[in-house]
Amino acid sequence: MTITGKQLIGGEWTQGEAGSFHGANPQNGQKLQPAISTASSRQVEAAVRMAEAASKKFRHTSPSIRAAFLRNCAEQIMALGDELLERLSAETGYPRGRAEMERGRTCGQLRMFADYIETGAHLDARIDTALPERQPFPRPDLRHLNQPIGPVVVFGASNFPLAFSVAGGDTASALAAGCPVIVKGHPSHPGTSELVAQAIAKAVTQADLPRGVFSYLIDEGHTVGALLVKAPAVRAVGFTGSFAGGTALMALANERPDPIPVFAEMGSSNPIFLLPQALQQNGANIAQGFVGSFTLGSGQFCVKPGLLIAVDGEPLQAFIATAKKLVEEIPAPVMLNDRICQTFQRSMSSRSSDAGLEVVAQGKPLHDVDGYFAQVTLFTTSAQTILEHPELMEETFGPASVIIKCRDREEMLKVARRLPGQLTATVQCITDELAEYGELLDQLAETAGRVVVNGFPTGVEVCHSMVHGGPFPATSDRRFTSVGTNAILRFLRPVCYQNYPEALLPPALRNNNPLGIPRLINGVRTSEALK
Amino acid sequence: MTITGKQLIGGEWTQGEAGSFHGANPQNGQKLQPAISTASSRQVEAAVRMAEAASKKFRHTSPSIRAAFLRNCAEQIMALGDELLERLSAETGYPRGRAEMERGRTCGQLRMFADYIETGAHLDARIDTALPERQPFPRPDLRHLNQPIGPVVVFGASNFPLAFSVAGGDTASALAAGCPVIVKGHPSHPGTSELVAQAIAKAVTQADLPRGVFSYLIDEGHTVGALLVKAPAVRAVGFTGSFAGGTALMALANERPDPIPVFAEMGSSNPIFLLPQALQQNGANIAQGFVGSFTLGSGQFCVKPGLLIAVDGEPLQAFIATAKKLVEEIPAPVMLNDRICQTFQRSMSSRSSDAGLEVVAQGKPLHDVDGYFAQVTLFTTSAQTILEHPELMEETFGPASVIIKCRDREEMLKVARRLPGQLTATVQCITDELAEYGELLDQLAETAGRVVVNGFPTGVEVCHSMVHGGPFPATSDRRFTSVGTNAILRFLRPVCYQNYPEALLPPALRNNNPLGIPRLINGVRTSEALK
């Protein structure tokens, strides 16, 4: 494949009409070729118009057609081969291993949704049969089915150029639901994004789907994204990124004449509560895990542990000493792009000069090069300081974390109660001591979408049980997850068919159950036909 | 029971601190006793504080405890006996039969949610077991459960003083989910509301639940409601009422530091598409059904058919003549309150003087009394007028409807495409002619939450398959229903438990499956224990 810098508008690759920009290699700051053209408002409208038209047909495709299409998307991505992996590394600074792993995750997600929609579980098919003799009124025949919500806009994320980007979880779940997708590519990895868009476009053609089922647009700023969120035919938005970005999209969506849901995953600080006995007995190991987790991928994960909370004393001092030694050995990691790198550096400067935070360890200093490198930094502070300045609990995107020293268990609990909404919260403990911390666990299950015992938050498993979500500001809506099979629920809406002639019902609701899916018939779950 | 005019704040009945008002009998406009006291901001805060505290315990109650509590709520409402029915009629003008039916529906809903949560279906329990040997990384044990979202504020509706009010569908589904509820009573039926609140309070006491599980506050205006929606501990809002009211609450919820979901059902025009053959063969019967449906309950249903669309010609003229005759026989019905009555009258005056709408029939003129009576009104207009003035498609709350005359099928489709989001859309047809109207049916399934064939939209069945929802402006979020068992989904959020010790897991997720509920274990649905 060749990277052309073009936009994909309903199957056609065309030059963007609103200027151009270049990607950059974060290792050396050098421009990457070719120039990436930028979509105009006319082009945005064209993509939306085609998505709207495609929606009318795509919504009627059977789950098995869409499943085959999703599996072929995965195959086409694999077929991009080394070119994809190399471009990804050049655009993000991620090593080859990470690129391969993320590709595996992305293709695995596409296949997982393919398998899932074939079970029909997402449809929530329900039938309540007519009761013509019922008094005082007969009951009509009523049938319930989840239907695709309509065209979805997906914003690519900077930190997962494959798994949360062009063909990432939002796209996969929206397509699986039967919704056309328009991707707004992230300017930090435009070549990677275009290659993946080429793969999806191929799969659309091979499946003979309406061409508007998938479009890919990009610009360097916020113009294209804002136009997409405001477009009348767009029905939902998926976003993974910063708090500022997510809340801006939420505001735009709420200002529409018809507000639409924005599912924004905006990251969090992912606190680790380190309980006394675990600290005492296993501090050194946990320190190693903690440092590994907060510096993994240059600390550029939404689930990076940015806070560690423990009771102060000799064991915590030993823990900090171990962590310090580990941190000091870490070479300055490369960041995704110039803006993220600078934001991190600014945050480190302001935090270092902050009266309440103390730098206890720094990684190896920056290379003397033009790349976007950062220095790993570990802070300590007191619970009292954090409680007085809760803004210090906010996420820092990059390889930094804060150890919060508490006087006692009660102060630990106070910190837990003051935490803003989180994607994850972790407890490191000896199992026996957990009984005393029931209140802490309860609080964390209210604060976070996922509670981890004796693990680290990094590593978001793609499976049925995953919740990658959580209360605001971690996400815009705590009722949903953006990872795992239930991510599809964001892009479905229920429709009730009353007294429909059999032949006009969607296949999933016909008496003979041609899809062979489980249905709730008069309150009883069965995969049998309705007699 | 005695109606005291007090507020219920976490089990305590106390006089409101912010003034008082009186209910009125819409039949004669006379004040009803006693004076109803109004909650102060301090009292609102107290109720929220108690709900927050109660939430921490209530969330851990088993489904069977909550089911027994919901069933007892129904029993306690029945035990209010005639006093409830009489007060309801005095406050709303609804006849005894309607009061009884609505009581039956309300108690039926409470029992339906009791039955439903005992099946565990709402929990979406999922387990993905650990894969310690997996390469390159082991998979941890991951378990997924829907948990209550936290304290919910429910606004009583004017038109359903029982079924969409103090112990209506929002309250029943929130309590079933495990969420404490604070009801803001509707000032149009304060005595009815207080009686029901007394019944619920009794059930809370008898179940020995935390007293903050249920509170009941009221005022005549918007102060109490706004304070509740802005209260930090409140996690979701249920509302059934006007577009102005619903969108005001949405705006308040979005302005919070942490936006929360408002589930607002704001009504719609519920168009009926009358296809040519049905009109020809069955016009007179359909006219009777149509007039009955749009005047039922004084036209004060969210699903009142406010639009009827048909191709013009002799059959439609005959249809209109039949409808006219029927309308002219209908005595002026009583409206719920002074404000609703006046709004309806104003709407009729402005619509009658509107160049595009023609009054073809009016019911019997108003009584010469002080009550809040309205005159049934039927309009006609052309599709062209409607397409030029789409605001004429908006809901009028009361006994009025508009017949839209189309030139042909294509113009009918044009009207369908221009419709704003609807709770329901109906097609009256001969089955054979439906094949030609596939595009119409498709469009209606996108526009409405429920599509009815050869029926009328009034009569919202409470069952598994019901969808009482639909695209904005019918509701705030098309992904949910406020009637039927899935209404509970509004008040749940998923939580993932990673690597939890068995003993600390919620019972629904323990290996031995003590609740005996269906679970998705490694992708397979089973009610068996996990070995």
Token reading at A217: 């647009």
CA–CA distance, A302 with A270 (Å, rounded to integer)? 8
Q: Are the C-beta atoms of B425 and B448 separated by less than 8 Å?
A: yes
Of A128, A467, A495, which is closest to B144 when you measure between CB atoms? A467
CB contact under 8 A, B463 and A139: yes
Element housing A495 (H / E): strand A492-498
Q: pLDDT digits over B140-198, tens only?
A: 999 999 999 999 999 999 999 999 999 999 999 999 999 999 999 999 999 999 999 99
Q: In this complex, how many residue pairs, one in chain A and one in chain B, have their CB atoms less than 8 Å apart? A: 195
Q: Are the C-beta atoms of B183 and B166 separated by less than 8 Å?
A: yes
Q: Are the C-beta atoms of B145 and B489 separated by less than 8 Å?
A: no
Q: Are the C-beta atoms of A154 and A174 separated by less than 8 Å?
A: yes
Catalytic site includes residue B496 = no
CB contact under 8 A, A450 and B496: yes
Would you call A379 helix, strand, or coil by DSSP? Answer: strand
User: What are the distances in angstroms from CA B109 to CA B65, B115, B121, B467?
Assistant: 17, 10, 17, 14
Catalytic entry in A118, A265, A395, A411: A265
CB contact under 8 A, B431 and A501: yes
Q: Are the C-beta atoms of A144 and A126 separated by less than 8 Å?
A: yes
Amino acid at B119: T
User: What are the distances in angstroms from CA A258 to CA A89, A170, B350?
Assistant: 41, 22, 26
Query: Would you say the ipTM is above 0.85?
Result: yes
Cβ count within 10 A of residue B330: 17
CA gyration radius, chain A: 25
B407 pLDDT higher than 70 = yes
Q: pLDDT digits over B218-267, tens only?
A: 999 999 999 999 999 999 999 999 999 999 999 999 999 999 999 999 99
Token reading at B90: 């005095």
Q: Are the C-beta atoms of A463 and A111 separated by less than 8 Å?
A: no
Query: How far does the CA of residue A389 sit from the closest CA of chain B (Å)?
Result: 17
Q: pLDDT digits over B299-356, tens only?
A: 999 999 999 999 999 999 999 999 999 999 999 999 999 999 999 999 999 888 777 8
Q: Are the C-beta atoms of B370 and B378 separated by less than 8 Å?
A: no
φ and ψ of A119, to 5 deg: -75, -20
- Chosen from A496, A497, A519, A530 to mutate, greatest number of chain B CBs within 10 A: A496
Residues of A in contact with B452 (CB under 8 A): 140, 498-499
CB contact under 8 A, A498 and B452: yes
Residues of A in contact with B486 (CB under 8 A): 124, 144, 494
pLDDT of residue B354: 75
Residues of B in contact with A467 (CB under 8 A): 144, 494-496
CA–CA distance, B177 with B488 (Å, rounded to integer)? 6
Nearest to A305 by CA among A320, A332, A321, A287: A287
pLDDT of residue B370: 86
Average pLDDT over residues B383-398: 94
Cβ count within 10 A of residue A255: 11
CB contact under 8 A, B499 and A454: yes
pTM above the 0.90 mark?
A: yes
Amino acid at A399: P
Of A431, A465, A490, which is closest to B126 when you measure between CB atoms? A465
Of B250, B498, B518, which is closest to A451 when you measure between CB atoms? B498
Catalytic entry in A302, A341, A406, A429: A302
Domains for chain B: give ranges and CATH numbers: 47-131+138-266+481-490 (3.40.605.10), 272-453 (3.40.309.10)
Side-chain half-sphere CA neighbours of B125 within 13 A: 25
Nearest to B249 by CA among B268, B222, B217: B222
Q: List CB contacts of B315: < 8 A, sequence separation 6 or more.
A: B276, B279, B280, B283
Residues of B in contact with A136 (CB under 8 A): 101
CB contact under 8 A, B495 and A463: no
CA–CA distance, A290 with A294 (Å, rounded to integer)? 6
Q: pLDDT band at B123, cuts 50/70/90?
A: very high
B132 pLDDT higher than 80 = yes
Per the model's pLDDT, the better-predicted residue between B367 and A175 turns out to be A175
CB contact under 8 A, B467 and A259: no
Token reading at A14: 């065309």
pLDDT of residue A368: 67
Q: pLDDT digits over A452-492, tens only?
A: 999 999 999 999 999 999 999 999 999 999 999 999 999 99
Token reading at B389: 């003035």
- Chosen from A103, A417, A498, A500 to mutate, greatest number of chain B CBs within 10 A: A498
φ and ψ of A294, to 5 deg: -80, -10
Q: List CB contacts of B197: < 8 A, sequence separation 6 or more.
A: B8, B166, B183, B185, B214, B216
CA–CA distance, A104 with A332 (Å, rounded to integer)? 27
Closest alpha carbon within chain A to B471: A258
The parts of chain A modelled with pLDDT lower than 70 are 368
Q: pLDDT band at B368, cuts 50/70/90?
A: low
Catalytic site includes residue A265 = yes
Average pLDDT over residues B484-512: 97
B369 pLDDT higher than 90 = no
Residues of A in contact with B504 (CB under 8 A): 434, 438, 441, 453
Q: List CB contacts of A448: < 8 A, sequence separation 6 or more.
A: A268, A421, A422, A423, A424, A425, A470, A471, A474, B495
CB contact under 8 A, A486 and B144: yes
